[in-house]
Amino acid sequence: MAEEGKIPKPKPVKDRFKRVPIRMRDPKERIHDFEVYIHGYTPEEAVAEASRCLSCNVCSKGCPARLDIAAYVRAIADGDPKKSFQIIFRDLPLPMICGYVCTHNCEDLCVLGRRGAPIAIRHLKRYAAETVGDYAEALGLKPEPDTGKRVAIIGAGPAGLTVAYRLALKGVKPVVFDALPYPGGTMYVGIPPYRLPRKVIEKEVEFIKSFGVEFRFNTRVGEDIPFEKLMEEYDAVFIGVGNHRPRRVECKGSDCSGVYHALEFLRGVALGEIKEVGRRVAVIGGGFTAMDAARVSLRLGAEKVMVLYRRRAQDRPGYPSSNAEEELREAEEEGIEFVWTVTPFEYTSKEGKVTGIKYWKNRMIEVPGKRARPEPIKDQEYFVEVDTVIEATGQKINFDFLPEEIREKLEMSWSEIKVNEYGETSIPGIFAGGDATNEKKDIISAVADGNRAAVGILRYLFPERAEEFHIKE
């Protein structure tokens, strides 16, 4: 973590196309614990990296929350990380969290990336946030007087946290309900601590809480408290639930002991319920969750971890992007093996415990305008012994907490709730954002949804002041 104090002056840029290297722990060392493996920039490194920026701000078009990236990077180059932090916080109340795990689509648009390496925007964001020890002192924010309005927020993930923060600043009382015992939603139980330390989540949530936001954990809406009661007792409701219903492979033997979905596996590890996986682990899937499940398995002591994916490497979710490339490269550095173009069709077992996987190889059928389609070659079977199988095969929203009459009135788009430009659903007074509405399913998109929904809720609560509340384009 960078220390507060004297910041070095920028030096002339020798090679604008070469990124200041990101220091990382040795793969052979880091796979044995859950400590952070990417070191933050030092002040000297941050100033040097930020000084490469051309200030064109093309990158901001790739940011769902439309951060003024050029401005906050320039502030770092000028030796003023506090100013950088203040600029970031205008649009992003989770700067350190995103500094660790943002998908950084902005970097894919950096013009320097056309001939060399893009600016390390995510790492610079982390540097600015870590340099500021006291958020309250750095921002000097004072909420408006209490308006008497109350809003129920379902889900303590990035969308819900963003809405709560925005409303609290405007004198609205947010009450956040979450089924988990901790804040952050999937950020807490789905992202391993070597990528996102728990203390980072806790620090930013505590700052949001300091504005009078109330959290009710271990509270499942629809069971512990009816959704109808929220509609009766609150002036508006925001739905910010995550993707917590697994999509399973459902092949023969999938009910064996030792077969997990990645969501329940990562959650079980985070809550201390799963502590070992055996010697050999197979992860089914090729996305970011598969990478997390595989790398966590190594840290639980697995000697061999394989990722089996039905398509080719270039067809995996998130590709092409620098984020997807980073995830794959780091997993390979840690010794994870990848088996592409395969389809598991049976999990073998002994006395109810999984022992192996039978699978076919796939041929890839090109489809114009779409990803190539895998087609199993079933005349030859393959087998691999395993002690644990983890299915990272997708997930969807569980809307069972909503009464049937509400679900019937909600306009849906495939598996997400449809909302207007202000995050309002087809039912007046009910708003939604994050995974529940956004197919991108990433943190920065959820923050952007939260920003929009907060504006929508304020316009709904105070129609006479509607002109005061605007969405950043």
Q: How far apart are CA 157 and CA 133, in angstroms?
A: 23
Q: Is the pLDDT of residue 141 over 60?
A: yes
Q: Can 27-139 and 246-395 be said to share one CATH topology?
A: no
pLDDT band at residue 13 under the 50/70/90 scheme? confident
Every domain of the chain and the residues it spans: 27-139, 150-244+397-468, 246-395
| Mean pLDDT of the region 409-428 | 94
Strand 280-284 with 304-308, pairing = parallel
| Structure confidence by residue, pLDDT tens digits, 362-412 | 999 999 988 899 999 999 999 999 999 999 998 888 899 999 999 999 999
Nearest alpha-carbon partner for 76 in 66, 86, 61:
86
Q: How far apart are CA 440 and CA 469, in angstroms?
A: 26
CATH topology of domain 246-395: FAD/NAD(P)-binding domain (3.50.50)
Backbone region of residue 40 per phi and psi (left: phi > 0; alpha: psi in -120 to 50; beta: other values): beta
How many C-beta atoms lie closer than 10 Å to residue 369's C-beta?
4
| Mean pLDDT of the region 337-347 | 98
* C-alpha angle 63-68-74 in degrees, rounded to nearest 5: 125
Least confident piece of the model among 3-17, 374-388, 455-469: 3-17
pLDDT of the residue at 6: 60
386 and 302 Cβ atoms separated by less than 8 Å: no
Tokens linked to 472: 């950043």
Q: Which residue has the tokens 């070992």?
A: 276
| Mean pLDDT of the region 1-15 | 63
pLDDT band at residue 1 under the 50/70/90 scheme? very low
208 and 97 Cβ atoms separated by less than 8 Å: no
Phi/psi at 97 (5° precision)? -55, -50
Q: Which CATH number fits domain 150-244+397-468: 3.40.50.720, 3.50.50.60, 3.40.50.2300, 1.10.10.10?
A: 3.50.50.60
Q: How far apart are CA 413 and CA 401, in angstroms?
A: 18
| Structure confidence by residue, pLDDT tens digits, 28-73 | 999 999 999 999 999 999 999 999 999 999 999 999 999 999 999 9
**Cα→Cα distances 324→64, 195, 290, 313, 346, Å:** 18, 14, 12, 10, 29
Tokens linked to 213: 């936001």
Q: Is the pLDDT of residue 415 over 90?
A: no
Tokens linked to 47: 């100033």
Tokens linked to 199: 């203390």
Which residues are CB-neighbours of 182 under 8 A, at least 6 positions away? Answer: 188, 189, 201, 217
Q: How far apart are CA 35 and CA 221, in angstroms?
A: 34
Strand 214-216 with 416-417, pairing = unpaired
| Structure confidence by residue, pLDDT tens digits, 66-115 | 999 999 999 999 999 999 999 999 999 999 999 999 999 999 999 999 99
223 half-sphere exposure, CB direction, 13 A CA radius: 7
77 and 70 Cβ atoms separated by less than 8 Å: no
Least confident piece of the model among 14-18, 50-54, 59-63, 261-265: 14-18
CATH no. for 27-139 = 1.10.1060.10
Instruction: For residue 143, say if its preceding peptide bond is cis, omega within 30 degrees of 0.
Output: no
pLDDT of the residue at 353: 98
pLDDT of the residue at 245: 84
Entry pTM: 0.95
Mean of the per-residue pLDDT values for the chain? 95
pLDDT of the residue at 301: 98
